[in-house]
Structure 1
Amino acid sequence: MRALTWHGRHDVRVDTVPDPEIVNPRDAIIKVTSTAICGSDLHLYDAYIPTLRAGDVLGHEFMGEVVEVGSKSTLKKGQRVVVPFTISCGQCFFCEKQQFSACDNSNPAETSDASEALMGHSMGAAFGYAHLTGGYAGGQAEYVRVPYSDVGPLVVPDGLEDDQVLFLSDILPTGYQGAFNADIEPGDTVAVWGCGPVGLFAIQSAFLLGAHRVIAIDHYPNRLKLAKEKGADILDYREVNVLDALKEMTGGIGPDAVIDCVGMESHGMAIDNVVDTVKAHTFLGTDRPHALRQMIIACRKGGKVSIPGVYGGFVDKFPIGALMEKGLQVKSGQTHMQRWMKPLLEHIQKGEIDTTWFISHHAPLEQAAEMYRHWHDEQNTYTKIVLKPEMAKSAQSTPSAARVIEPA
């Protein structure tokens, strides 16, 4: 089959790799009909996540048709399913607590030892995201083996197009959990750092959960435009002092809740971020947490900090004093996908959440490497890319019919 494989920093290729096979009775094989490039895939593209190996198949946002099942799978051939990016057994201590992303059984022993050494405990597994999370082949491919298929995949009801449900695989539940973890109360002002796909879904979710006001922070004009279309007030951090602006907009108090949808590769020329960038490029550090530092300083006393953005290692110059003295509550973590997928599907069916409006491009899987370059270098124009394995190989990347992004 054809699949996108990693070969080093900024080197991804569509190669021919072995077809997946059933190896466990609970497995299923999915023929991928749609797969997307996630913002966190860029951390792999930039080689900031350790334990990637040449030839690893990338991708963790995907859906498709069931073509083969193990004897203990609850799926049936021919069903359309959305597959969560996390891999969860459904039976361990954590899964029974609905903390599915912390599953204790999905990460094989030979790969979990490294994550335990780094994190203190073994990480849960995920598709297409390095060997710290199990080394599972990802979904930017024609076919995928799905472990624990009796627990993870969500069967898609008739009448829904791929674009309407694809993002239940990751970014919609991730944005929703980011807002949920902010413990939003009616009347709250919520500030969201980052207006990429997760940030845009966090904005929608914050309003859905009762926020009175959402303030969105970014520097890409089209992303800010999209955030404004969903009701957010916007701040371009290149044009304003974010901390001063947030104080003025909240009467000097600060936002009630702040959500980090940026993660480990913050942009900007603030001195702390410049130092972080130098350290990352000279292998003296890993993450660039400028946005997270700024959030903690900006949040009101007694406020809430939610961190759905991906971090992979260690940071310094962290404002732990402000965190403690201000009495901030912090929640973070990978998304507990199975907890949110079905309820969010119901919101989609009711028209309460729109999942298609920010898709900027559809492209064949064969153009995946090119699309990674665009996503990395042209994020103002390429707001979300959906890859279609069955799209003609000769077809050109085209702006989505769902959303054509005009130059700002």
Structure 2
Amino acid sequence: MRALTWHGTHDVRVDSVPDPEIINPRDAILKITSTAICGSDLHLYDGVIPGVAPGDVLGHEFMGEVVETGKDSTLKKGQRVVVPFTISCGNCFHCQITQYSAYENSNPAEKQDMSATLYGHPMAALFGYSHLTGGYSGGQAEYVRVPFSDVGPIVIPDHLEDEKVLPLSDILPTGWMGAENADIQPDDTVAVWGCGPVGLFAIQSAIIMGASKVIAIDHYPHRLELAKQLGAEVINFKTTEVREALMAMSGGIGVDAVIDAVGMESHGFAVDNMLDMVKQTVGIGADRAAALKQAILAVRPGGRVSIPGVYGGMTDKFPLGPLMEKGLQVRAGQTHVQRYTKPLLDKIEDGTIDTTFLISHRLPLEDAARGYKNFREEQDSWTKVVLKPGMEAGATA
């Protein structure tokens, strides 16, 4: 089959690789109909996530048609399903309390030491996201093996086209959980750093949850315009002093909750962030956390900090004093996707949530390398890229 593989920093290629096979009775094989490039994939593309090996198949946002099942799978051939990016068993302690992304046993034992050394515990397995997370092949491919297919995938009604439901694999539940972790109360003012896909869905989710004012912070004009169309007020951090603006927009108190939807490759011109950019480039692995630092300083005392943005290592000059002295609540983590897929599918069906506004480009799988390059370098206009296996090479939509 054809699949997108990683070969080094800014070097991804569509290669021929072996077809996936059923390994475990709970497995299923999907024929991919739609798969997307995620902002988190750019961390792999930029070489700042450790544990990626040449030839690894990327991609953790995908859906498709079931073409083969193990004897213990609950799926049936021909069903259309969206697959969560987290690989979880459904039976363990963490799954029983719906902390699906905290599940450790899907990460093979021989790979657990790598993440346990970094984080104190092994990470849960994820599709297409380094050997820290199990080394599983991802879905930017013609076919993919889905472990624990009786737990993760959600069956999609035939009347819903792919593009309406594909975000259920990651970015919509991630944005929703980011807003949920901000513990939004009626009349809250909420600030969201980053108007990429997760940030925009966090904005939409915060408004649905009842925030009276949502403020979006970015520097790309089109992304800020999308945030305005969702109902947010906007700040361009290149032309505005963010903390001063937030104080003015919150009546001098400070915003009630902040959401960092940027993560480890934050833009910013403060000295410490510029140094972190150098450290990332030379492989020291310092996360660039300018957005998170700014968010902690901007939120009011007693406020809430939500971190759906991905961080992979350590960061320097972290404002631990302000975090403690202001009495802030912090919640973070990979998304417990399976907790949210069914209620969010219902909201898509009844029209409460719009998902298709975000998609800017549709490309053949064969053009995935071009999609990565432009998604990284043209972030204002390339807001979301959907890859279509079987679409004619060179075509766009």
TM-score, normalised to structure 2, is 0.99
Q: Match of 1:364?
A: 364
- How far residue 286 of structure 1 moved from its aligned partner, in angstroms, is 2.4
Task: Return the alpha-carbon distance in structure 1 between the equivalents of residues 326 and 237 of structure 2.
Answer: 24
Describe how 1:265-280 pairs up with structure 2 within 5 A. 265-280=265-280
CA-to-aligned-CA distance 1:175-198 (integer Å, 9 cap, x gap): 000000000001100000000000
Cα distance in structure 1, aligned partners of 2:99 and 2:175: 16
Partner of 1:397 in structure 2? 396
What's the offset of the Cα at 1:396?
2.3
**Separation (CA, whole Å) in 2 of partners of 1:161 and 1:359:** 13
CA distance in 2, matches of 1:367, 1:71: 36
Q: Which runs of 4+ in 1 moved over 6 A?
A: none
- Extract unaligned runs of 5+ from structure 2: none
Q: Which residue of 1 aligns with 2:299?
A: 299
Tell me if the contact between 2:272 and 2:316 (Cα under 8 Å) persists in the aligned partners. no
Within 5 Å, give how 1:300-379 maps onto structure 2.
300-379=300-379
**C-alpha contact 1:3 1:142 (8 A) present in aligned 2:** yes
Q: Is the 8 A contact 1:301 1:326 kept in 2?
A: yes
1:405 aligned residue: none
Aligned to 1:259: 259
Is the 1:361–1:386 contact (alpha carbons within 8 Å) kept by the matching residues of 2? yes
For 1:104 and 1:288, how far apart are their aligned partners in 2? 27
How well do the aligned residues superpose, as a CA RMSD in angstroms? Answer: 0.7
Q: Distance in 2 between matches of 1:255 and 1:275?
A: 28
State the one-letter code of the partner of 2:354. D
Contact preservation (8 Å) 2:140, 2:365: yes
**Contact 1:102–1:123 (8 Å) recurs in 2:** yes
What is the match of residue 85 of structure 1?
85
Is 2:133 aligned against 1:116? no
State the 1:397 CA deviation.
2.5
AA paired with 1:293? K
Report the residue type matching 2:337 in the other structure: M
SS at 1:7's partner residue?
A: strand
Per-residue deviation at 1:316? 1.2
SS at match of 1:67: strand
Amino acid at match of 2:123: M
Partner of 2:227: 227
Structure 2 CA distance for aligned equivalents of residues 115 and 283 of structure 1: 17
**Matched residue type, 2:345:** L
Structure 2: distance between partners of 1:366 and 1:52:
21
How far is 1:112 from its partner? 1.1
Structure 1, unmatched stretches of 5+, are 399-408
Alpha-carbon distance between aligned partners in 2 of 1:131 and 1:209, rounded to the nearest angstrom: 36
What one-letter code is carried by the residue in structure 2 that aligns with 1:279? Answer: K
Counterpart Cα distance in 1 of 2:341 and 2:283:
38
* Rounded Cα–Cα distance in structure 2 between residues aligned with 1:75 and 1:367: 31
What residue in structure 2 maps to residue 129 of structure 1?
129
Deviation string, structure 1 residues 23-69 (Cα, Å, up to 9, x no partner)? 00000000000000000000000000001000000000000000000
| CA distance in structure 1 between the aligned counterparts of 2:381 and 2:207, rounded to whole angstroms | 26
Deviation at 1:111, TM superposition (A): 0.9
1:19 maps to 19
Residue 131 of structure 1 deviates from its aligned partner by 0.3
- Residue type at the aligned position of 1:382: W
How far off is 1:157 after superposition? Answer: 1.1
Secondary structure of 2:344's match? helix
Deviation at 1:4, TM superposition (A): 0.1
Is the Cα–Cα contact under 8 Å of residues 48 and 285 in structure 2 kept in the other structure?
A: no
When the two structures are superposed, what TM-score results if normalisation uses the length of structure 1? 0.96
Question: Equivalent residue of 1:302, what SS?
Answer: strand
Question: Which structure 2 residues correspond to residues 10-49 of structure 1 after superposition, within 5 A?
Answer: 10-49=10-49
Whole-angstrom CA distance in 2 between matches of 1:39 and 1:280: 17
Of all paired residues, the percent bearing the same amino acid is: 68
What does the per-residue CA deviation read over 1:297-324, in whole Å, with 9 as the maximum and x for residues that have no partner?
A: 0000000000000000011100000000
- C-alpha contact 2:264 2:289 (8 A) present in aligned 1: yes
C-alpha distance in structure 1 between counterparts of 2:53 and 2:293, whole Å? 32
Query: Contact conserved, 1:92 with 1:104, CA < 8 A, in 2?
Result: no
